[in-house]
Structure 1
Amino acid sequence: MARRPRLASARSRRRASSRRPAPPGAAFVWVPGHWHWNGDRYLWIRGHYVRRHPGWHHWRNGHWTLIDGAWRWVPGGWY
Structure 2
Amino acid sequence: MDYFIVAITTVAGLYFHWWLYVRIRRWMERDLALSMAAGDPAMQRYMLERLAEAKASGVRRGQLDEWLHQAACEYLQRRS
TM-score (normalizing by structure 2): 0.27
Task: Looking at secondary structure, tell me which structure has more helix per residue.
Answer: 2
Task: Looking at secondary structure, tell me which structure has more strand per residue.
Answer: 1
Bigger radius of gyration: 2
TM-score (normalizing by structure 1): 0.27
